[in-house]
Amino acid sequence: MRLEKLTNTNLQTIVQIYQYDFANKKSPGLGDLLRGSFYLMQLSGMLNVGFKLDISNHPMSEFIINNGKSADINYNNIQFVVGMNRPEMSYLINPPNNTYFDVNFANKIIQELNKSRAKSVGLFTNAFPIYYNFLDYGRNFIKSQLMPNKIMTDYIDKAFNNLRLKPNTYAVIHIRTGDEYLSTDRGTSSPCTNQILNAINTINNPTKKYLILSDNNTLKRILKKIPNFYVHLHNIEHLGGEVNYNKSSDGIKNTLLEFYLMSYSNSILSLSIYEHISGFSRYCSEVYNIPFKNIYVKKNPIKMKML
């Protein structure tokens, strides 16, 4: 099958829109946003048009430098173009030869672009990138679209002072125990706590500094007792609209804080109860070019698999 022709001859820019609600679906989390942004940036290059990331209609825009809403984008009619640009989930890490291009899915995007005659067309996808040999140009462009504003940079500086850490002097251990543990109000001990602690004990180097990031504050309190572990206790929020509870501005700010603190690390280890790799930490590592490893912690039996 061939790539369809781009008939919207006015098109200059494909815009990845991030907001809670799309016309046909609710939004996933920050990792999905970054993953899909890499895909759209690569596809727009193939189509010889520009690319932009627009977070102006999402509450996180309160903490990120942005130009506000665009007059030529109808935010009430943004399509979530569903598809993964993958034949199967076994390619969750990298596809063979670090490249995979699903022409059928790309044509779905092109069909959406062809419905308009506008210069800028907004949509959303969380598809996997076409290729994984990311260039510094692409990484730097994504970073430029996610620059923290003064409110956020002051908050990051305050966190570094409270933690008594300096940028690029620590590794991050990012632990996913499940979205149901996202705050102290909802959080309890995870049934996988022992497996997680066992995994951490096997990798802990007492001469290194580790910043612990997690969706579970109960687990953070346990790990805070380890001398070379640094923990910032706060409530965080899932940034997507698919998790249907009221989100606080502070929770969103704290989630972004964890993302930016991770971006200043010298390595990232993700431990997750989910078989899929955490996009939050995986694509932070891709954007900021930080070494990344993942451990899948199985609930039952107690077994770990390095990916």
The CATH number for 204's domain is 3.40.50
Do both 94 and 178 map to the same domain?
A: no
- pLDDT 10s digit of each residue in the chain, 307 long? 799 999 999 999 999 999 999 999 999 999 999 999 999 999 999 999 999 999 999 999 999 999 999 999 999 999 999 999 998 765 566 787 889 999 999 999 999 999 999 999 999 999 999 998 899 999 999 999 999 999 999 999 999 999 999 999 999 999 988 655 444 444 455 557 888 999 999 999 999 999 999 988 889 999 999 999 999 998 888 899 987 656 789 999 999 999 999 999 999 999 988 878 899 999 999 999 999 999 988 765 434 343 3
- The size of the chain, in residues, is 307
Same domain, 223 and 111: no
How many separate domains does the chain show?
2
Residues 211 and 283 in one domain: yes
Residues 19 and 48 both lie in one domain: yes
152 found inside a domain: no
What pLDDT is recorded for position 93?
67
Residue 110: what pLDDT?
A: 98
Domain match, 161 and 264 both = yes
Residue 64's domain spans which residues?
Answer: 13-144
Residue 278 lies in a domain: yes
User: Last residue of a domain, which of 144, 167, 200?
Assistant: 144
Same domain, 80 and 184: no
Residue 51, CA distances (Å) to 19, 66, 244 in order: 17, 15, 30
- Tell me: do 132 and 181 sit in the same domain: no
Q: Which of 144, 172, 203 is the last residue of a domain?
A: 144
User: Would residue 7 count as lying in a domain?
Assistant: no
What per-residue confidence (pLDDT) applies to 307? 36
Residue 150 lies in a domain: no
Domain co-membership, 140 together with 175: no
Angle between the N-to-C axes of helices 150-163 and 249-263, in degrees from 0 to 180, rounded to the nearest 10: 70
**Whether residues 182 and 203 fall in one domain:** yes
pLDDT, position 274? 81
